[in-house]
């Protein structure tokens, strides 16, 4: 894959998956393990009514749950369509919850609220949109600046699966039939990817094939780029950017990180001199 082409795909893969925010919300609405985890973790770490900074808040799936749990939530996301969908979801909450939300368009690598938070979260693999060491350092620098001295930074990424990463890029899998939540057109979803082992980026292609007449006339291909972080690498990046990892688990139920883990779920604090 040519260098320029890879750069283009990284750029496309940051944005395209998030353009159709209604479809995104529909595709992931049944995903609850992470939502339940972040609400329980926040409730255990914070007093009622505390502020949370929700980086890459997306369509607001976790944001709404944190609001319903009684927290004040500042949500930041780089996708305007996703923020619009998040605002719609929040507008449907009771007033006592929606008044505790504030959503901002911004970049997780370059933001400044001018204050600190007791808890900062970055959910649903959003950290995987940091494609280089420079990206990681910029984001962690902003997070560190905004985290209270005894605050917690919590996030999750996928556990790299070498068998999955090396799948045949010319074949598609995971074929699923569904109806678009807005147009109601019947579609078939499938996916494949190309993995760059040097940059550790999976260039994923999501295919939507029309199964009947409707707004979508031909196959639509949506790009999604994800940086893959290995556990020791991730721990080192956090350490050398001033964070101490206080918990590094293999799923949202708290199981240990092992060969069977699909996720990495981390809790971090400011590093002390002894860390």
Total tally of structural domains belonging to the chain: 2
Could you tell me if 238 and 213 lie in one domain? Answer: no
* pLDDT, tens digit (0-9, with 9 covering 90-100), for 52-86: 999 999 999 999 999 999 999 999 999 999 999 99
- Is residue 170 assigned to a domain? yes
- Is residue 114 assigned to a domain? yes
- Is residue 20 assigned to a domain? no
- Provide the token pair at 171: 């074949």
Read off the pLDDT of each residue in 4-13 and give the average, rounded to a whole number. Answer: 77
DSSP state of 160: P
The whole model's pTM is what?
Answer: 0.96
**Structural domain containing residue 207:** 162-227
Q: Hunting for tokens 């090396």 — which residue is that?
A: 166
Q: What is the pLDDT of residue 274?
A: 61
Sign of the alpha-carbon dihedral angle for 66, 73, 226, 14: positive
Could you tell me if 103 and 211 lie in one domain? Answer: no
- Is residue 253 assigned to a domain? yes
* pLDDT, tens digit (0-9, with 9 covering 90-100), for 137-189: 999 999 999 999 999 999 999 999 999 999 999 999 999 999 999 999 999 99
Residue 245: give its domain's CATH number: 3.40.50.150
- Is residue 21 assigned to a domain? no
Could you tell me if 221 and 237 lie in one domain? Answer: no
């Amino acid at each position: 894959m040519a260098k320029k082409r890879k750069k283009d795909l990284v750029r496309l893969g940051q944005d395209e998956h998030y353009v159709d925010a209604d479809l995104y919300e529909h595709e992931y609405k049944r995903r609850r393990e992470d939502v339940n985890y972040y609400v329980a973790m926040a409730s255990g770490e914070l007093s009622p009514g505390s502020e949370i900074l929700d980086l890459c808040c997306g369509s607001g799936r976790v944001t709404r749950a944190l609001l319903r749990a009684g927290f004040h939530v500042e949500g930041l996301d780089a996708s305007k369509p996703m923020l619009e969908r998040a605002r719609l979801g929040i507008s449907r909450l009771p007033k006592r919850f929606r008044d505790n939300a504030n959503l901002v368009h911004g970049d997780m690598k370059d933001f400044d609220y001018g204050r600190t938070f007791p808890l900062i979260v970055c959910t649903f693999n959003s950290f995987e949109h940091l494609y280089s060491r420079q990206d990681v350092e910029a984001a962690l620098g902003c997070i560190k600046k905004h985290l209270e001295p005894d605050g917690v930074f919590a996030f999750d990424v996928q556990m790299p699966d070498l068998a999955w990463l090396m799948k045949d890029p010319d074949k598609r899998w995971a074929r699923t039939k569904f109806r678009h939540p807005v147009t109601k057109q019947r579609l078939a979803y499938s996916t494949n990817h190309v993995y760059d082992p040097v940059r550790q980026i999976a260039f994923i292609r999501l295919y939507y094939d029309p199964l009947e007449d409707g707004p979508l006339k031909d196959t639509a291909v949506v790009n999604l780029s994800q940086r893959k972080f290995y556990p020791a690498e991730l721990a080192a990046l956090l350490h050398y950017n001033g964070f101490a990892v206080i918990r590094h688990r293999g799923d949202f139920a708290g199981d240990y990180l092992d060969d069977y883990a699909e996720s990495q779920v981390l809790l971090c604090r400011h590093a002390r001199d002894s860390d």
